[in-house]
Amino acid sequence: NAGVTQTPKFRVLKTGQSMTLLCAQDMNHEYMYWYRQDPGMGLRLIHYSVGEGTTAKGEVPDGYNVSRLKKQNFLLGLESAAPSQTSVYFCASSVGWDSYSGANVLTFGAGSRLTVL
């Protein structure tokens, strides 16, 4: 059971280049999320999806686009990378709201470290 897999793990881009981060989960989770983490800061939500074919903006969506064409995959795209987008990106997935237990347990991937020069 792989859980949440992110590819690539590391990437270096030049300003203005584009790239896509892929997140894949094998737990049949409905909900998927993209976060970024910068030094000394907590995780900030970029975009999320509550089901196949749906996406929504989080706290810091500018400069990013996402797509959820298949339930198991959530793609994060940078159309024109900027140095401010240098960060570690984490993908997560969850079953969603469990009304009985009150849990919304997120399972995270190992992260993708992106450097924009």
DSSP line for 41-99:
S-EEEEEEESSTT--EE-S--TT-EEE-SSTTEEEEEESS--GGG-EEEEEEEE---BT
41 binds other proteins (CB under 8 A): yes
Choice between 19 and 60, CB closer to other proteins: 60
60 binds other proteins (CB under 8 A): no
How far apart are the C-alpha atoms of 14 and 18, rounded to whole Å? 9
Choice between 17 and 61, CB closer to other proteins: 61
Q: Which residue has the tokens 């469990």?
A: 98
111 binds other proteins (CB under 8 A): yes
Q: Please select the residue that binds other proteins; options are 43, 63, 67, 71, rule is CB under 8 A.
A: 43
108 binds other proteins (CB under 8 A): yes
How far apart are the C-alpha atoms of 106 and 35, rounded to whole Å? 12
Q: Would you tell me which residues interact with other proteins (CB under 8 A)? A: 4, 31, 33, 35, 40-45, 48, 50, 58-59, 90, 92, 94, 96-97, 101-111
